[in-house]
Structure 1
């Protein structure tokens, strides 16, 4: 989805929607594609303002500042900081600008506001221009994301992490059936759930959990199908992950992350992968290959369209046993 920004007020109103939660005491970078004189969001990232200044260098090295054709993208830098953190915010903005311009990117503007909720004063720290923040919930972009994409902005990042908290465990898989019949029944049930998550049952969750851990080909087939419906796919895999344990939970979290990323929700993708890391660590297990691959994509800010293209190629040439 393209997000067009025409004013500083628009920029600040879109930040909660970009991250899925209301950022506080944060340094935010919004990377823009160069399309004429329009400011179109390519990717966004943030870190806590109380991080050491080295975080600014890490951010500059991580963001995709170079376009495929060789040109450099432009960046908006925002400090969302209360008065207690004002000096630290200025230091971070200076450091971020220095590291990004050293890589060849241009900084469009640097903004500061104590909060992004309505009624606070924002300042362009380079021009001295000021204005007032508006309610992000009723902004054009906020309404578009809520209505067209069902994207809800949470109060904090921890609230999003709570979406992956384990619930009541699913029953044991129904393995009494013939193996071929088990696979066919499970795949059909999951395909239906990707179109209508309300059809998902605890027993189907258990059966799917066994399928995605027992056979990588079946897991990848469900990955391909679910990323064709990434928003409902993310919902289904999240519900499954909450009901599953161990390796099955890890795989389901990775599949949820893939769907979230394909639906342009990098924050939930990252949090799902964090939950997968913690689940593996608690069990004394290494990360799975899929978790590692997706984590690399998220950390490198790979455009979601590229990941969707990769999965489409897999669909055209399914993996062999």
Structure 2
């Protein structure tokens, strides 16, 4: 998602909405498209400011520093670190600047604040400019996310992970055979759920869990349908994944991740993929192809808009056998 920002105060206030949670003791990197004086966020990423310094190089390696035309994007770094961690966070900012500059990109500024909520002081560590942090909940991007997308800022990333925790298991599917009637009934039911998530029942969750595991073509059909409604699709697949176990849970988490990614929620995309990987490890299974592909897209900051275009093309011209 591209968000226009105009000041250091705006940038800091936007971070919780862009991440989906309130970061503490963190190093945050905002990568901007090179559009002259207009600062337009291309991607945001973070890691713990208490981490060893060698992680700074890994962090830079994962940032999308080049635009499609080969020119470099600009980077703004923010250290959110309380007094006992401030010196180490400063070392990270120095290391990041060296690595980013070595890649040919530019660090446009480096900011520090002890906390990101209202009533604290942010400082530009290179110029000495300072200002006050404001309530992120009243920021333009915070209000936009809440009103237009229903996206609530959680207190921590762990609170986001809890959204994917297993709940009561769905019942057994209505059938154990891959019949046309079963396929049609389940796909129609899921299509209705993507329009109105309230129609999702535990039985439909069980049936869909079977459908997405017995045939990859059925899974991909539901992938195309649900990513056309990314916000409700993400909600449905998340609810469904919580009721499923094993392979079915992995596939449902991957489908949730695809919808979150199409909806520009890269944090929940990453969390859903982490849950899918953990479920696969617990079951002694390798990651599925869809999980691996989406993980690569996230790691390389492949634009969500291009993912949406890809799925739209598949819907318009389904692959032939």
Structure 1 residues 314 and 96, CA gap change in structure 2 (3 angstroms):
same
- 1:282 — aligned with what? 282
- 2:48 — aligned with what? 48
- 1:294 — aligned with what? 294
1:225-304 map, 5 Å: 225-304=225-304
CA contact (8 A) 1:217 1:320 kept: no
State the alpha-carbon separation in 2 of the partners of residues 317 and 68 from structure 1: 26
- 5+ residue gaps, structure 1, are none
- 5+ residue gaps, structure 2, are none
| 1:240 shift after superposition | 0.4
Write the deviation string for residues 262-296 of structure 1: whole angstroms up to 9, x where unpaired. 10100000000000011011111111111111111
State the alpha-carbon separation in 2 of the partners of residues 248 and 315 from structure 1: 23
- 1:31 — aligned with what? 31
State the alpha-carbon separation in 2 of the partners of residues 272 and 237 from structure 1: 10
1:147-226 map, 5 Å: 147-175=147-175, 179-226=179-226
Q: For 1:9, what is the secondary structure of its paired residue?
A: helix
TM-score, structure 2 normalization: 0.98
CA contact (8 A) 1:217 1:319 kept: no
- 1:124 — aligned with what? 124
1:303-314 map, 5 Å: 303-314=303-314
State the alpha-carbon separation in 1 of the partners of residues 177 and 123 from structure 2: 65
State the alpha-carbon separation in 1 of the partners of residues 190 and 315 from structure 2: 17
State the alpha-carbon separation in 1 of the partners of residues 36 and 82 from structure 2: 35
CA contact (8 A) 2:178 2:214 kept: no
* 31-40 vs 89-98, greater mean Cα deviation: 31-40
CA contact (8 A) 1:28 1:78 kept: yes
CA contact (8 A) 1:4 1:40 kept: yes
- 1:22 — aligned with what? 22
CA contact (8 A) 1:29 1:44 kept: yes
TM-score, structure 1 normalization: 0.98
State the alpha-carbon separation in 1 of the partners of residues 177 and 296 from structure 2: 38
- 1:94 — aligned with what? 94
Write the deviation string for residues 69-111 of structure 1: whole angstroms up to 9, x where unpaired. 1111011100000001011011000111111111111111100
State the alpha-carbon separation in 2 of the partners of residues 288 and 301 from structure 1: 20
| 1:35 shift after superposition | 2.0
State the alpha-carbon separation in 1 of the partners of residues 67 and 204 from structure 2: 43
Q: How many residues align?
A: 321
